[in-house]
Amino acid sequence: MIRLSLPVTSVEIAKLKVGDQVLLNGAMITGRDAAHHYMVENFIKHEPPESERPMYETLKKVLAGNVIYHCGPVIAQENGKYRFVAAGPTTSIREEPYEHLVIEKFNVKGVIGKGGMGAKTLEACQKFKAVYFHAIGGAATYIAQSVKEVLGVYKLDLGVPEAMWLIRVEDFPVVVTMDSHGGSLHAEVEAKSKQKFEELLKTI
């Protein structure tokens, strides 16, 4: 088991290989469909408008060398503080049109989700030294136990699941399934499944 403290360096990321089990510690941020669309439309396709520049500068600091988690959490609010009740991963492939752009623009070093991602993200992982971490699907309440504190929230106007939650985690469990060397467990499984399917077709 490998323990990583966030943020991480390119050197640390380069040491990770497909199959490595990792425990993440430190601050990271959630973000899924609406958040990715917001970042691409406001900060990547165009120069940040003046009204969004403070948010741009904040996200640059938060995301640099850090991890973005594809998660739509269930949140409770107690005594004026937010608490994660459930924090399971959402399907990552929905972010495939955006993720490579976000990785490059914000120097993101890791993406967490489930189901893997495609060729554009894998290429960005190689080019900019990043990895894809697979989190445990169907274990939202268990994963939430790793979230020790909500440090802040951005774009809450997008709704609770789509907002960008800055959280502090301890021993957050993930597995590397796409690395910075071009390895992709998801591509391997897809290729083997296709081969097996074609073999089965020949027997019909």
Active-site annotation, residues: 36
- Residue pair 17/150 in contact by the 8 Å Cβ criterion: no
Q: What is the dihedral of CA 47, 104, 176, 26, to 10 degrees?
A: -60
Cα 120 to Cα 66, 102, 125, 202: the distances in Å are 19, 12, 9, 32
Dihedral of alpha carbons 71, 108, 111, 16, sign: negative
Task: Round to whole Å and give the CA distance between 80 and 100.
Answer: 36
